[in-house]
A and B are shown apart, each in its own frame.
Chain A
Amino acid sequence: MTRTVRNNDICFRMGGDEFVIILSSIKDRMHSCLVSRRLISAISEPIVLPSGNQAKVGASIGIATFPADGSEIEELLHKADEAMYMAKKLGKNNYQLHL
């Protein structure tokens, strides 16, 4: 995950299987989409476990943008979560902008 984003972007593990990334100073929302595609591509590389079994990992990503989607962090997080659930509904390995 950290290899996919820029050094000044900030990644948090919020608990369990949930993560939040703050992409700072983006030019437009499409930049977030580009990063999301890269993230999904990197995460979905199969992992070979020590036992020889293979694990497949994937991600559903929801995106909210400051200031278009809100100016308070709780609001942005809530909207990103909503978008993430929309992405989940679309199927595995999807991202979704908050609309």
Chain B
Amino acid sequence: MNRESVMDRHERYLQILVEHLDFAACILKNGVVSYTNNAYRHSFGDEDITFLFPDPQSGVRSFAHKDTGLFYSVKRIAFDEEFTVLFFAERKGVSLATDPLTGLLHRESFPLISQQVIDDASPGTRFSLSSSSIWMDLKSSTTPGVMRAAMSCSKRPLPE
């Protein structure tokens, strides 16, 4: 049996294994998606989200899929130089509540998601947390009514 047919068989075995998983998984061949299982297609359709996990090292990453409101721990396992498998384990009980004004995640989601990110962080992983306060200045010609509308997303008291 030549090397090519051995590799074909190797790929087919991987596909059979991945297809029978009851959670989303996909196979990357030389970094490009070569196979997705039913659960992956059910969760993400034809969407290729693997570019979000370019880290060549094996490990776990957190992934919030805002379209579905689901949160995943993504494990990447490199089998050899050619084949890598991504496993998407949905985190039950972690809901992604969205802020209706901005479409960003709501503060209600923060404790569980941030804790999950820490739990998923393997040794050597770094992530940063940026706290930002957004301020707004309006030109002096602006009328109070306009100012009120523009500051509707701010907790700060409106100027008299």
Contact = CB atoms under 8 A, between A and B. Distances in A.
Interface of A: 1-2, 6-8, 10-29, 31-32, 35-36, 39, 43, 47, 49, 51, 53-68, 71-73, 76-77, 80-81, 83-84, 88, 92, 95
B114 A8 contact: no
Contact of A80 (B63, B131, B136, B143): B131
B134 interface: yes
Contacts of A32: 128, 130
Given A15-B155, A63-B131, 14 more contacts: A2-B104, A7-B52, A8-B63, A10-B62, A17-B133, A17-B156, A19-B132, A20-B130, A24-B117, A39-B130, A53-B139, A59-B133, A59-B134, A63-B129
B133 A25 contact: no
B118 interface: yes
Interface stretch (B14-22, B32-40, B84-92, B145-153): B145-153
Contact of B137 (A19, A43, A55, A65): A55
B133 to A, nearest CB: 5
- Majority DSSP secondary structure for residues of B touching A: mixed
Interface string B38-71: 0000000000010011010000011110000000
Chain B contact patch, size range: 35 or more
22 contacts: A6-B52, A8-B64, A10-B105, A12-B105, A16-B156, A17-B134, A17-B153, A18-B155, A22-B113, A22-B127, A23-B128, A25-B55, A26-B128, A47-B150, A56-B136, A61-B132, A62-B130, A62-B132, A63-B128, A63-B130, A84-B132, A92-B135
A11 B125 CA distance: 19
Nearest to A18: B133
Contact of A88 (B130, B133, B150): B133
A78 to B, nearest CB: 9
A23 B132 contact: no
